[in-house]
Structure formats: structure tokens, C-alpha cells
Amino acid sequence: DRLPALLRAMPKAELHMHIEGSLEPELIFALAQRNGVKLAYPNVEALRAAYAFTNLQSFLDIYYAGASVLLTEQDFYDMGMAYLEKAVADNVVHTEIFFDPQTHTARGVHIKHVIMGLHRACLVAEKRWGITSQLILNFLRHLSEDDAWLTLEQALPYSDYFSGVGLDSSEVGNPPEKFASVFAHCKNLGLRRVAHAGEEGPPAYIWGALDLLHAERIDHGVQAVHDAALVQRLKDERIPLTVCPLSNQKLQVFPDLADHNMPQLLAQGLVATVNSDDPAYFGGYVNDNFVQLFAATGMGVREAFQLAANSFEASFVPQERKDAWL
């Protein structure tokens, strides 16, 4: 069967990955040692053993704990380079990387160290391997809109180094309307907009992300299938969904990958894509997501090419570069 080799070799864009979710346990312990940070786990094995998630919140608690080792610009650079090297190995030619500044500024880390460390990694990776990147600042939705406004203000001196904003963290109970005014302002500033919606939350949150946040892509969005009018809108407006199969499996959105609705999303003509979300926590980088999803669902070569094409269409690169890809 040559399908796994094709999936691994095909050029692709990755559009939904949280850089803090690429921190492997080994790097968490190395940075903890370098920075003198005390962890709640005695060693790598004990930390990895704690990766037994039952839902989004049980994951987020451990994900924020892991990120506590990041203090210096060099830490953010090292984390970025580790991910970008893996992306290159997976034949990712373009990646749009989420980062969560509030997870770091709340611990006294200056946002400059977060953004400039990641930006430097993107520059070095492009020079070394040819991969292009954009950074997307995500607001934590379990915090207040005032906190998001403050974060935007802190980030704007470095706005040359990120292309857009997104919304992540605990979805249910933190609907998009909570962030309508800050997203409207980001739109006026010329920033691109994405938002997590319809991962665990209802289709109403996807409508809200589109109508109130002016989101140009929906992160996850797999719950859209429960609303026919919403599916029609996503299709008509070619609004991409950045789907993360192994994340959905590990967080019990689709406990069995064989039941994942990606085949249905593609059959309905949606611009769905495959992404890794938090690869260090969910058991694989983007190619592992492709290979395991295809093995479980029985999708074939047609779907493979569709997903690669969708990843380029859904990206925020200039149209001329998309035309060259597609």
C-alpha cells in the first residue's frame, strides 16, 4: 500500500498548530533544568503518563503546566526550531503557527521575548530549509475581553511579526460574542482572523465566530455537520475548517478515528484541512494525522490531493503564491 508514503511525501501547508503544544516532554525537562523551574512531575515518563485526556479542559490543564518552563527569548526560539524541523521532515512547505502570549505574560514574561524568539526561528528555518511561516496571536477565551485588549496593546509594537489573531482555550461557556469588540478592532487594523469554534461547542459558536468575530477560517469546526444551513454557508463562502484528527480522538470528540467526519466534510464540498493542533500531546505531527486518519476511514488518493489543495487555498499566503501551488 503506497498511500502512507504518498501522504507523507506530498507538499502541504499546516494551519492549526499551537507552538506551546509542540513542546515535547524531553524539551520541557531540559528547559525546566536550564531555567530552574520546578515541575509537578519527577521525570519525562511520569509527565508522559499524565497525558490521558478525557476532554479539552483535562488537556489544557497539562498544556499550561508544560508551558510554564518557557521564560527567555531563546526558549521560544528553541521551541520554534524544534517544531519547524519536524514540519520540514513532514514536507510542510508553509505553516501558520498559533501562540498564546497570555500564558507567558501572566508569569511575567515580556511579550517581546515570545514574539521575537518565535519570529527568529521562522526566519532561520526559512533560510535553512525554505519553509515559510506566519505567526497568529491567539487570545485565551477563558480570560476576559479586557485581558485580550491589554494583550493586543502589548503585542502591537511587534505587529510586523504576526499576521493575525485567533481564539483558543476552553470553548464551552466562553462564546465568541465575549470577544466581538476586540476582534472588530483587529479587523480594522488589517489583521487576519481565525477562531476555534465547534470543537466541543455547538454550531451556534461557529455562526458567532463568522458573524461577530469576522473569522476567515474556523479552527476545528467539526460540529458544523449538525446544522445544514451552516454547512451550506461554509461551502458557499469557502470558509476553511482546520481539522485536527488525532486531537479529536484524544479529546474524545471522535473517540474512534474510524468515526471521524472528515470524509463527510470533504464529500459535502467543504474546504477542510488536516493539522496537528498540539503534536507533542496528541501522539503525532501532521503526517501522523494524515496516515492514521486515512487508515481509519478508508479515504484514498483523491481525498489526499483534495486535502493538500485545501491546505494551500486556506492559507494566508498571497494569491500569486497560491496560484503557483494550485
Residues that bind ligand HPA (CB under 6 A): 18, 21, 56, 63, 168-169, 196, 199, 247, 277-278
User: Any known ligand binding at 16?
Assistant: yes
Q: Please tell me the distance from the alpha carbon of residue 302 to that of residue 145, in angstroms, as a whole number.
A: 43
In the complex, minimum distance from the CB of residue 34 to Zn ion, in angstroms, rounded to a whole number: 27
Q: Determine whether 157 is exposed, middle or buried from the number of CB atoms within 10 Å of its CB (0-12, 13-18, 19+).
A: exposed
Judged by beta carbon, residue 10 or residue 284, the one nearer ligand HPA is 284
Q: Please tell me the distance from the alpha carbon of residue 114 to that of residue 108, in angstroms, as a whole number.
A: 11
- Beta-carbon contacts of 163 under 8 Å, excluding residues fewer than 6 positions away, are 96, 134, 135, 136, 191, 192, 316
Q: Is 153 a catalytic residue?
A: no
In the complex, minimum distance from the CB of residue 289 to ligand HPA, in angstroms, rounded to a whole number: 13
In the complex, minimum distance from the CB of residue 58 to ligand HPA, in angstroms, rounded to a whole number: 12
Are the beta carbons of 281 and 63 closer than 8 angstroms?
Answer: yes
Cβ atoms within 10 Å of 308's Cβ, excluding its own: 22
Judged by beta carbon, residue 98 or residue 304, the one nearer ligand HPA is 98
Interface map 275-294 toward Zn ion (x if CB under 5 A):
--x-----------------
Q: Which residue among 199, 200, 216, 303 is the active-site one?
A: 199
Q: Which stretch binds Zn ion (CB under 5 A): 49-57, 201-209, 226-234, 273-281?
A: 273-281
Residue 199 contacts which entry, Zn ion, ligand HPA, none (Cβ below 5-8 A, type-dependent): ligand HPA
Residue 169 contacts which entry, Zn ion, ligand HPA, none (Cβ below 5-8 A, type-dependent): ligand HPA
Judged by beta carbon, residue 277 or residue 303, the one nearer Zn ion is 277
In the complex, minimum distance from the CB of residue 140 to ligand HPA, in angstroms, rounded to a whole number: 8
Helices (H), 189-318: 203-211, 228-236, 245-250, 262-267, 279-282, 286-297, 301-313
Residue 141 contacts which entry, ligand HPA, Zn ion, none (Cβ below 5-8 A, type-dependent): none
Q: Please tell me the distance from the alpha carbon of residue 38 to that of residue 241, in angstroms, as a whole number.
A: 38
User: Any known ligand binding at 78?
Assistant: no
Q: Please tell me the distance from the alpha carbon of residue 266 to that of residue 57, in angstroms, as a whole number.
A: 28
Are the beta carbons of 101 and 131 closer than 8 angstroms?
Answer: no
Q: Please tell me the distance from the alpha carbon of residue 326 to that of residue 72, in angstroms, as a whole number.
A: 39
Q: Please tell me the distance from the alpha carbon of residue 54 to that of residue 288, in angstroms, as a whole number.
A: 21
In the complex, minimum distance from the CB of residue 22 to ligand HPA, in angstroms, rounded to a whole number: 11
Q: Which residues bind to Zn ion, rule: CB under 5 A?
A: 277
Instruction: Give the active site residues.
Output: 199
Q: Pick out the residues of the known binding site.
A: 16, 18, 196, 277-278
- Which residues are annotated binding-site positions for substrate? 278
